Amino acid sequence: MARSNKTVRDYIRTIPDFPHEGIMFRDVTTLFADPRGFRIAIDQLLHPYAGTDIDRIVGLEARGFILGGAIAHQLSVGFVPIRKKGKLPGKTLSQDYTLEYGEATMEIHDDAIQPGEKVLVVDDLLATGGTAEAGIKLLEKLGAEIVGCAFVIDLPDLGGRAKLEAMGVDIHALCA
């Protein structure tokens, strides 16, 4: 059987003017739906971290849950969600943020991470970096050590990479 030469980028489609006019929305549902695409994305996301000391995978709502869950399973570590406001049932810490097309608040359970735990943050896409920055601030408040942030897509023109690097965060991304 012929082997596919498709890269992760080839499985992602761009939908113009979603959720607002002028936004070129990178839709990863087509990547997730393809068995080879999803597998190579997970393999490539975790590759730099295989064999390193990681206590938890932290996924950013919502697509970070799909990727982070698969990575946590593969690395045999636990998974912690950072969710949009009002979704977590226990006592939470909150952090407001802005992103490419709006404003929101992220939350984490205040007992989800113990001080000193090594965490890998996972999401599908880095744009302005507002979402990831909010997640990192929450994790830092809990005393986590951020091993890195892994994304399928990095849109560096929107400033997220520079923002996270200025915070001293190591970024791993598969495509632009």
Closest CA to 119 of 68, 168, 85: 68
Q: Which residues are catalytic, by number?
A: 63, 100
Contacting ligand PRP (CB under 6 A), which of 107, 117, 124, 154?
124
Of residues 8 through 47, those in contact with ligand PRP by CB under 6 A are none
Query: Any bridge partners for residue 24, and if so which?
Result: 16
Closest CA to 82 of 138, 127, 133, 35: 138
Tell me, residue by residue from 13 to 52, as one string, x for binding to ligand ADE by CB under 6 A and - for no binding.
Answer: ----------xxxx--------------------------
Closest CA to 57 of 82, 79, 75: 79
Locate 24 and state its tokens. 């070129």
Closest CA to 136 of 150, 152, 155: 150
Q: Closer to ligand ADE by CB, 24 or 33: give it.
A: 24
Kindly state the smallest distance separating residue 19's Cβ from ligand PRP, in Å.
Answer: 7
Give yes or no for a contact between 123 and 161, defined as CB atoms under 8 angstroms apart: no
**154 is in the binding site of which of ligand PRP, ligand ADE, none (Cβ under 5 to 8 A by kind)?**
none
Tell me, residue by residue from 75 to 104, as one string, x for binding to ligand PRP by CB under 6 A and - for no binding.
Answer: ------------------------xx----
d(C-alpha 65, C-alpha 3), whole Å: 29
Contacting ligand PRP (CB under 6 A), which of 71, 127, 139, 173?
127
Instruction: Decide: is 135 part of the binding site for ligand PRP (CB under 6 A).
Output: no
CA separation, residue 29 to residues 36, 50, 63 (Å) = 13, 25, 9
Kindly state the smallest distance separating residue 151's Cβ from ligand PRP, in Å.
Answer: 8
Instruction: Decide: is 117 part of the binding site for ligand ADE (CB under 6 A).
Output: no
Interface residues toward ligand PRP, by CB under 6 A: 60-63, 99-100, 123-132, 160
